[in-house]
A and B are shown apart, each in its own frame.
Chain A
Amino acid sequence: GENVEQHPSTLSVQEGDSAVIKCTYSDSASNYFPWYKQELGKRPQLIIDIRSNVGEKKDQRIAVTLNKTAKHFSLHITETQPEDSAVYFCAARRSYFGTGTSLTVIP
């Protein structure tokens, strides 16, 4: 199978600051890496994804970077807003989830 580790488990930032969440994976055959946002009591929602033939992808305030050699990928959220507060999960191969990061944006 695949083993995905995620850090940090909790993260608090001031509104307007950036937030970075990091993940590592174990299987070099993994080639798809989505990130999900899950608000309390709601279903996970895909916010961005990256495939292994790309090193970086950006969508407005959200960006993801991938280092295949080191088998790690990161989520970057810039200009954070209170509505960004949620639990974020990285995943490898779509279905193997990291342990989650609870992000709190302080107004």
Chain B
Amino acid sequence: GAVVSQHPSWVICKSGTSVKIECRSLDFQATTMFWYRQFPKQSLMLMATSNEGSKATYEQGVEKDKFLINHASLTLSTLTVTSAHPEDSSFYICSATGQGVYEQYFGPGTRLTVT
């Protein structure tokens, strides 16, 4: 099956710094990638959808200047949390789909802790 990886799996950063999370599709071309945020024992909240080569589409309430998403190639999307604050601490999960494919394949997630 399709494999999506994320790096890092966990990261701790200081308040005010920025952190980048990578999402890679390892064995297929990901025309669309999704970024989610998941709080403990809660659901996945869609943050943004990115299509390769285009600007990401952000969900209502998600600050695009704070959560920078880049999808520059068919195998890589990045999420940069800028000027991180403790309230940004969360589990971030990406997923990817190929062209014409409905099913999305999830990455293992990245645990971000901002101190």
Contact = CB atoms under 8 A, between A and B. Distances in A.
A44 B44 contact: yes
Contact of B44 (A1, A32, A45, A97): A97
Nearest to B97: A94
Interface in B75-115: 93, 97, 102-104, 106-109
A1 B62 CA distance: 13
Q: Which of A49, A89, A94 is packed against the most chain B CB atoms within 10 Å?
A: A94
A51 B36 CA distance: 23
Interface string B21-51: 0000000000000101000001111100100
A98 to B, nearest CB: 7
Interface in B36-75: 36, 42-46, 49, 59-60
Contacts of B103: 34, 46, 49
Contacts of B107: 43
Contacts of A34: 102-103
A94 B104 contact: yes
Contacts of A98: 43
Contacts of B59: 1
A95 interface: yes
